[in-house]
Structure 1
Amino acid sequence: MNTGIIILAAGESSRLGYPKQIAKYKEKTLLQLAIDGANEAKVEKRVVVLGAFKDEIKKTFPGASIPNIPNPHFEKGMSSSIKIGLEYMLKFDKPDQVIIMLCDQPFVDAKILNKLIATQKKESKGIVACEYSKTFGVPILFGKQYFKELMQLTGDEGAKKIAMAHEDDMVTVTFTKGKVDIDTEEDLRDLNL
């Protein structure tokens, strides 16, 4: 199975007041942690989708470490970044499945990404989501049978909407630390305690 990873990093971080992509945890930016996880995972293709503050953010990681593409429509919400990332993947490579991940979950690493892939292989389900805090979400893997639906998302709709519509074809993996995401200065302080 050919797997791609799309890292969504185009948001404006309005609640944090500066780009969360460059907020630091353990001497690395949140985006660098996400890139490291993607680069160490057993996948064939990776891409980072940038939007707000893209020039500032680009300076914080080696460009050669991962392909990155701009989303000129990032203000239209998360769905626009999912579509741009998927279009990029489909243009250059024909992945059988993609993992969608965010750059604000500091505990996402290659181990959990590889677990999604291994679970898909074992369970043969079209969707593999992470389960935490009595819900499920990203990182989330979609088989190619869902690419068309991903391309039809609009506004701030995330991929969870599709997963909820196809729960019969979904399996989850437990990822307790998935509940940690960074939206505010307080989140960052709690993380660094």
Structure 2
Amino acid sequence: MKAGIVLLAAGGSSRLGRPKQLLLHQGKTLVRRAAETAIAAECGPVVVVLGAHREAVAAELTGLPVHLVEHADWAAGPGGSLVAGVRALTETSSVDAVLIMLCDQLRVDSAHLTSLVDTWKRTGSAVVASSYDGTRGVPALFSRAVLPELEALTPEQGARGVIARDSSRVAEVGLPGGGEDVDTVADLARLR
């Protein structure tokens, strides 16, 4: 059973006012840090979805074994980027599950991603979601059976609706502080 990773890095960072993917955290940009985390999990192929600031974000990934996918309509919402990433991954490799992650969740490490995959392999659950702050969210793994639901997302939707659709098919892996992401400069300073 093989899982691939889709790293969503297409957003325009409207609340921040500058590309959050390019913010430095412990000497690395958020997008490079997230891509290296995905690679270190040794799950399978890694697809990075680019949109806003495409060239600058792509430059941060130079030398990494990732497949870059451009999503021109990134401004319509996260669902379109998610669909573009899932399709790119499933069309270029044979995977049994897709793990979706964001570049601005600083509490996510490779051990957590590996734990999501291991939980899926152990339980056979259709969805394995991170749990934090009383909710379930990303990073989350979706088995091949659930991929049509992801591919049917509209641009304004995200993966959370697919996770919430049927709680009986979801396994959880705790991620303390997982809800802490970077939307402002103050967030980055607080999470150092």
TM-score normalised by structure 1 residue count = 0.96
Task: Say which SS state the counterpart of residue 118 (structure 1) adopts.
Answer: helix
Task: Say which SS state the counterpart of residue 156 (structure 1) adopts.
Answer: coil
Unmatched 5+ stretches in structure 1: none
1:131-171 alpha-carbon deviations (Å, 9 max, x no partner): 00111100000000011111100022111101111211001
Task: Give the partner amino acid of 2:79.
Answer: S
> What is the deviation of 1:18?
0.6
Aligned residues: 192
Is 1:37 aligned to residue 37 of structure 2?
yes
Task: Say which SS state the counterpart of residue 49 (structure 1) adopts.
Answer: strand
Is 1:124 aligned to residue 127 of structure 2?
no
> What is the deviation of 1:82?
0.9
> What is the deviation of 1:11?
0.3
- Matched with 1:170 is 170
Q: d(CA) in 1 for partners of 2:114 and 2:31?
A: 19
Task: Say which SS state the counterpart of residue 65 (structure 1) adopts.
Answer: coil
- Matched with 1:79 is 79
- Matched with 1:157 is 157
Task: Say which SS state the counterpart of residue 11 (structure 1) adopts.
Answer: coil
Q: d(CA) in 2 for partners of 1:46 and 1:185?
A: 28
1:110-149 alpha-carbon deviations (Å, 9 max, x no partner): 1000000111111111100000011110000000001111
Is 1:55 aligned to residue 55 of structure 2?
yes
Task: Say which SS state the counterpart of residue 150 (structure 1) adopts.
Answer: helix
Q: Is the 2:48–2:67 Cα contact (8 Å) retained in structure 1?
A: yes
User: Which runs of at least 4 in structure 1 moved beyond 3 Å after TM superposition?
Assistant: none
> What is the deviation of 1:92?
1.1
> What is the deviation of 1:64?
4.3
Q: Is the 2:133–2:177 Cα contact (8 Å) retained in structure 1?
A: no
Q: Is the 1:36–1:109 Cα contact (8 Å) retained in structure 2?
A: no
Task: Say which SS state the counterpart of residue 176 (structure 1) adopts.
Answer: coil
- Matched with 1:146 is 146
CA RMSD of aligned residues (A): 1.1
Q: Is the 1:25–1:191 Cα contact (8 Å) retained in structure 2?
A: no
1:11-38 alpha-carbon deviations (Å, 9 max, x no partner): 0001111100010110011111111111
- Matched with 1:22 is 22
Q: d(CA) in 2 for partners of 1:183 and 1:174?
A: 22
> What is the deviation of 1:177?
2.5
